[in-house]
Structure 1
């Protein structure tokens, strides 16, 4: 009975909504730090970003956090839909004089809509990037151009710090299996592991001559939606958890406002920088 109440009661739903929401805020910060390497990756931003992508997809602890993140997104979305439905059902007849704008902000009245739009963005984002990283058989591997023997040649950069001439792969002397592993064509043993070039597909996506600008604009709009969602959700999460005290309510509110502006803004800068300023 207690377990059922823990999941089914309205108070419990708000509690879990707050917990998953705050966890996803932490995820946003970590994801942003990784993505910002597209802007400040030093002399070789593609390598830095692809090293980050490799770490995020192979580190056991990160894998566990990833599954927790997937669960939190789904739980947060479903919980929000159920709460919105219950609130609507609890008040089926609207008041004759109902002016919610006088005592609530716009974001709080439209959290379900904002959350739904963010969920659509997440699904689209994962199809364009996450799914390609995990399942695309044509996922490119990172190459570097090096002046060897007086002429520029392409090499695959490997995770052990080595270089594998692309010409050898093209000639069939070395073959690529499992989308990133290099094998000796005769002995059929793994000899090298390459970096999946997530940097390349990200840049190509936002610099695409036909849909790159549209994709960048839609990304910015999605980040604006995220900002409005965070604006109300951050402070609301602390209230739902009972962390509500006059001594630090203003601090939480101001931090929430700053978070809801800075994080989405930095995310939004990335596609705009890639499309308009990054030299491919």
Structure 2
């Protein structure tokens, strides 16, 4: 059985891997902002390259495992803390922490639900469905993305989920650095600023993708 400290370390490492993956995923999806014809060709070619690359397949398995382990560890730690009575007085917590740090479970649940919807709409259809084929013979993921992002309710869900992701990342990056013992008082402000900048750029960038497609396609 893993101790709470061990579980926090595992959650920290899986969380940092997911943060790194978000950067790669974000950079790849920036192609959606290209002119539609160019985006159509490049995005599908990029998706085809990823799906046929053995190294990317291995990374994808690590990604799926990291998501599950991260979520399960967070659940176990939360339940253990409640069971052991590690609770603070309400007004003390209000003064000592931000609201999003006290509600990481809710934010994480929103993100997890979003991931299930996201995987079903894109990953599952691309891997096991029958997506259309583009003129170059590649699976037409771009058309699938555009069709999905033309639904206002999905755009709304996506944007709200990115708000939850932003706050989850702000606390998560800060907490991960502390867990790894890298939180030197001399660099507190710098680390906090970088963590917030990363969280905002990633979340706003992702949120702008469905908004851009909804209003331009």
* Residue pair 1:118, 1:222 contacting (<8 A) in 2 also: yes
Task: Choose between structure 1 and 2 for higher RCO, CA contacts under 8 A separated by at least 6 residues.
Answer: 2
Q: Provide the rounded CA distance (Å) in 1 between the counterparts of 2:216 and 2:87.
A: 53
Q: Could you tell me whether the CA contact under 8 Å between 2:114 and 2:161 is conserved in 1?
A: yes
Count of aligned pairs between the two proteins: 217
Query: Structure 1 residue 86: deviation in Å?
Result: 1.2
Q: Which residue matches 2:172?
A: 233
Q: Map of 1:127-138 to 2, 5 A cutoff?
A: 127-136=120-129, 138=130
Report the alpha carbon displacement of residue 55 of structure 1 after superposing the two structures with TM.
1.5
Q: Secondary structure at the match of 1:247?
A: helix
C-alpha distance in 2 between matches for 1:68 and 1:41: 33
1:139 aligns with 2:131: yes
Contact 2:81–2:87 (8 Å) recurs in 1: no
151, 154, 158: which one pairs with 1:219? 158
Identify if the C-alpha distance between structure 1 residues 247 and 42 changes in structure 2 by more than 3 Å, giving closer, same or farther: farther
SS class of match (1:99): helix
CA RMSD in angstroms comes to: 1.5
1:52 aligns with 2:46: yes
- The 5 A counterparts of 1:108-123 are 108-123=101-116
Distance across 1 between alignment mates of 2:163 and 2:142 = 24
Q: What is the alpha-carbon distance in structure 1 between the residues aligned to residue 40 and residue 87 of structure 2?
A: 57
In the alignment, is the contact (CA less than 8 A) between 1:41 and 1:49 conserved in 2?
no
Aligned residue for 2:138, secondary structure, equals: coil
Which of 13, 19, 23 is residue 19 of structure 1 equivalent to?
13
Distance 2:18 2:6 in 1: 18
Q: Which has the higher helix share?
A: 2
CA contact (8 A) 1:230 1:260 kept: yes
CA distance in 2 between counterparts of 1:141 and 1:93 reads: 55
**Residues 173-192 of structure 1 mapped to structure 2, 5 A cutoff:** none
Gaps of 5+ in 2: none
Q: Give the greater-gyration-radius structure (CA).
A: 1
Question: Higher strand proportion, which one?
Answer: 1
1:129/1:202 contact within 8 Å kept: yes
Alignment TM-score, normalising by the size of structure 1: 0.74
Q: Partner residue of 1:200?
A: 143
Contact 1:41 1:48 in 2 (8 A): no
Offset at 1:107? 1.1
Structure 1: which 4+ aligned runs deviate by more than 2 Å? 40-43, 92-95
CA-to-aligned-CA distance 1:222-259 (integer Å, 9 cap, x gap): 00000010010101001011112112222211100111
Q: Following superposition of structure 1 onto structure 2, how do residues 240-251 of structure 1 map, counting pairs within 5 Å?
A: 240-251=179-190
Contact 1:15 1:240 in 2 (8 A): yes
Contact 1:206/1:274, CA 8 A, preserved across alignment: yes
- Give the 5 Å matches for 1:18-97: 18-40=12-34, 44-91=38-85, 95=89
Q: 1:277: how far off?
A: 1.5
Shift of residue 52 of structure 1?
1.2
